[in-house]
Amino acid sequence: MSVFAPQGAYDRAITVFSPDGRLYQVEYAMALVERGATIIGVSCPEGVVLGAEETVEPLEESQYSWKIFRIDEHIGAAIVGLSSDARILIDQARVYAQSNKLTYDEPIDVEVITKRVCDIMQLYTQHAGVRPFGVSLIFAGVDKTGNRVLGTHPSGTYRGHKALIVGAGKEHVANLLKDEYRENMTLEDATKLTVKCLVKAMEARQLQPRIKMAVISAATKKMEMLSDEVLEKHIKEFSASK
């Protein structure tokens, strides 16, 4: 007969591992992330692309539902999960970016800023009286090391990716992204692939396609939000090609 306490006993303290080596609160935070609006990051030789679903209520002002944020001129981030948790991490990431520029007189690397944010997230898995951040972020940018896309986990871990999708639409289009991604694709191709994945992810869940996207060109190293007109054009091109 097992002498271990039931699962619920390990939910009460985030710092306690279950007998099978799990932190349930971290897993619950990831379950929240997987139910959130889909976000995508794609890297290619010409730059990086960030995309996100935008879900807006009929009487809601659209600017308060954004999932893509500018961290610095050369770095953007897309969020999935609790927006309130993400806001704290985004603000801190911006502070790190400006502090690095003032201290070293150079823009911060994408991995450095990702690691510092993940250090905060990891800290909230180690202390009693707190809970993990219920959010995952995709950091994407262009720095002296190249074009980078890095994804974070509520546990505080991060990984580098050529292309990454997180959120509720992942199960519907993860294989599509994997099959159609090419390492030599242009920034325009990467943009169209991101649109295709987001639209398919929303259609699979019977949602009206509404997306936001940003690109960071390797030539300019500056983040640019794509206009609604440009996105609508891409969506119509995709719909016409079906």
Supply the mean pLDDT for the chain: 91
Is the per-residue pLDDT at 183 higher than 80? Answer: yes
Domain 20-55+66-241: CATH superfamily is: Aminohydrolase, N-terminal nucleophile (Ntn) domain (3.60.20.10)
Q: What are phi and psi of 147, to 5 degrees?
A: -95, 120
Let me know: does 149 contact 114? Beta carbons within 8 Å: no
pLDDT tens, position by position, 103-144: 999 999 999 999 999 999 999 998 878 899 999 999 999 999
- Confidence class for position 208, pLDDT limits 50, 70, 90: confident
Instruction: Name the pairing type of β-strands 158-160 and 146-152.
Output: antiparallel
Is the per-residue pLDDT at 12 higher than 90? Answer: no
Count, in order, helices (H) and strands (E) of the chain.
Answer: 6, 10
Read off the DSSP letter of residue 106: S
Helical spans, DSSP H, in 35-82: none
How much is the CA Rg of the chain, to the nearest whole Å?
Answer: 19
Instruction: Name the pairing type of β-strands 75-81 and 68-72.
Output: antiparallel
Helical spans, DSSP H, in 12-152: 24-34, 83-104, 110-123
Is the per-residue pLDDT at 77 higher than 90? Answer: yes
Length of the chain: 242
Which one, of 49, 58, 66, lies nearest residue 141 by Cα?
Answer: 49
Rounded CA-CA distance 41/233 in Å is 20
* Residue 43 bridge partners (DSSP): 48
Rounded CA-CA distance 92/89 in Å is 5
Strands of the sheet containing 223-225, edge to edge, are 163-166, 39-44, 47-53, 211-217, 223-225
Locate the DSSP E strands across the chain. Answer: 39-44, 47-53, 68-72, 75-81, 135-143, 146-152, 158-160, 163-166, 211-217, 223-225
Rounded CA-CA distance 181/41 in Å is 12
Is the per-residue pLDDT at 4 higher than 60? Answer: no
pLDDT tens, position by position, 21-57: 888 889 999 999 999 999 999 999 999 999 999 877 7
Q: In Å, what is the CA distance from 105 to each residue of 88, 100, 139, 143, 189?
A: 25, 7, 21, 14, 34
